[in-house]
Structure 1
């Protein structure tokens, strides 16, 4: 059985930087990590990937050949990957013996709550290769500073959870930068726990853009509250404690901690990571 993460989220949420930093952290605690780039538009990678989908299909070529824009081109690419899933399986086969997998997906959110191709790719890999994957959905923490954008992020997170049907963890990324976007209306716990969105109504009414959609926003908040599924953990990819806490959550969700594997997340705090070792971990920088 092979464990790993499906890394998704809107453009700019930090997926590629996350994969880079997470792979470094997991290597430091003794896991062999393979990053699989499934973003055909990601032609500037900060990490060394074991499998690069651009060897099979590249967004820029698709856009030229089929006269498509970036969104239509990405849908085409994901459909092409699904139809050529055997190629991807063959590339992954040598990694299945002893690697932990990180799948870096495109940032087009429609792929994960509207179209079926990305989900089909994931489900076929799970079934054929016996993978145990957790979806890690990144959301930029700066959205908390705007009540309307925060509600949109909640709705996107909920839709993605329901569509992918995987063990799922929502993450407020770039949490170290959250104060630079302005003062939050509530304590951070309000935004991570998502317990009662009615408190946002007053702040939404103060914004003339949001006030005209008061009834719609109220209904959307009630939908999110009624499902009661969405909550967030926070992440500063450059902080080892923050990354370590997230790894523990992921390992619980996909069953890694129950697999009897050495250097599991439960034990990683016991592994000596000296100052010199930690200097190796750059974690990247969210910009």
Structure 2
């Protein structure tokens, strides 16, 4: 099973649709679940949709909650009515790849234990589903290093919180094609903390520079150029480097080979091929094809 999440606009639903099309092209079975209670437009109609149980719009209107509070309420409601999800999955066999489209709000994966509780319900007991989380970060973030490293930290935080095999993806690679040399792009694929040193272009300060003060708390510009901010960025960079958890795959959802390459990593993470039942040589032959 693959579960897709990441910041809003990262292309999660587009990737899910591309993945479904790729699976169909290769005659593989899939089961598509939408767990975003605010999602509206789908290329492929979900086999199971949380909106048949609860919608974010209804929650916000009836309980007077904001989008984030409403989303958390929707998932708490799902956990209280988990048979809505688990009962249909009892009949989904191992040859199916289960695709779960998740909301983009990162708080669900880094701040509250809701998604880990959901993961536990799906991976334990009678379902015993092998899961892989796919985190999507839009590739255009690489032109704003502060956004890129913020996304990298979010990926690492979610990896630690969810405790699942993880595939991190730079999506929409077609938008940055030809804009960056391959050698420079590699510094983002395997995040290179030395990128934080290029303060003028990154908007970040990694090292103390002569002539900069320690940051006047009443002056935003001085705060982000001061020594204390430099130390914070250095600590963040060291944290990413020490854990060495996050690296990215490149994805162009319009390119079937790119989608297939990402799928191969997901298959490996959930040990998909190892889980398939071995077939007898004549399993795929009809009676008329049998030898004498």
1:38 and 2:35 correspond? yes
- Aligned pair count reads 258
Q: Structure 1 residue 92: deviation in Å?
A: 2.2
1:233 aligns with 2:231: no
Q: 1:27 to 1:262 in 2, by over 3 A?
A: farther
User: Using the alignment, how far apart are the partners of 2:75 and 2:95 within structure 1?
Assistant: 27
Deviation at 1:97, TM superposition (A): 5.8
Change (3 A) 1:205 1:43: closer
Is 1:177 the counterpart of 2:175? The answer is yes
In the alignment, the residues of structure 2 paired with residue 163 and residue 18 of structure 1 have an alpha-carbon distance, to the nearest angstrom, of 23
Tell me the equivalent position of 1:274. Answer: none
Which deviates the most, 93-102 or 245-254? 93-102
- Out of 5, 10, 16, the position equivalent to 1:13 is 10
SS, match of residue 42 in structure 1 = coil
Deviations along 1:195-244, one digit per CA (max 9) or x if unpaired, are: x3024312367638653532221211111101111100100011111111
C-alpha displacement of 1:99: 2.3
Say if 2:134 and 2:168, in contact at 8 Å, map to a contact too. yes
Q: Which residue of 2 aligns with 1:164?
A: 162
2:129 aligned to 131, 144, 160, which one? 131
Higher relative contact order at CA 8 Å, sep ≥6: structure 1 or structure 2? Answer: 1
Match of 1:211 among 215, 221, 225: 225
The structure in which a higher percent of residues are helix is 1
Contact 1:147/1:203 (<8 A) preserved: no
- What SS is found at the alignment partner of 1:40? coil
Three-state SS of the structure 1 residue aligned to 2:198 is: helix
- The residue that corresponds to 1:60 in the other structure is 57
Q: Does 1:25 align with 2:22?
A: yes
| Distance apart, 1:52 and its partner CA | 0.4
Note the C-alpha offset of 1:75. Answer: 0.6
- Residues 227-272 of structure 1, C-alpha deviation per residue, up to 9 Å, x if partnerless? 1111001000111111111111111111113224689xxxxxxxxx
Judged with a 3 Å threshold, the aligned counterparts in structure 2 of structure 1 residues 85 and 186 are, in CA distance, closer, same or farther, namely: same
- Residue 200 of structure 1 corresponds to which residue in structure 2? 196
Q: Distance in 1 between matches of 2:278 and 2:5?
A: 27
When structure 1 is superposed on structure 2, of 83-92 and 30-39 the one drifting more is 83-92
Equivalent position SS for 1:46: coil
Q: Secondary structure at the match of 1:162?
A: helix
Give distance in 1, aligned partners of 2:22 and 2:277.
17
1:35, distance to aligned residue in structure 2 (A): 0.6
Q: Confirm or deny: 8 A CA contact 2:144 2:202 kept in the other structure.
A: no
Q: Equivalent residue for 1:278?
A: none
**TM-score, structure 2 as length reference:** 0.82
Q: Unaligned stretches of 5+ in structure 1? A: 264-287
Name the Cα RMSD after superposition. Answer: 2.2
Write the deviation string for residues 164-188 of structure 1: whole angstroms up to 9, x where unpaired: 10010100000111258x6579611
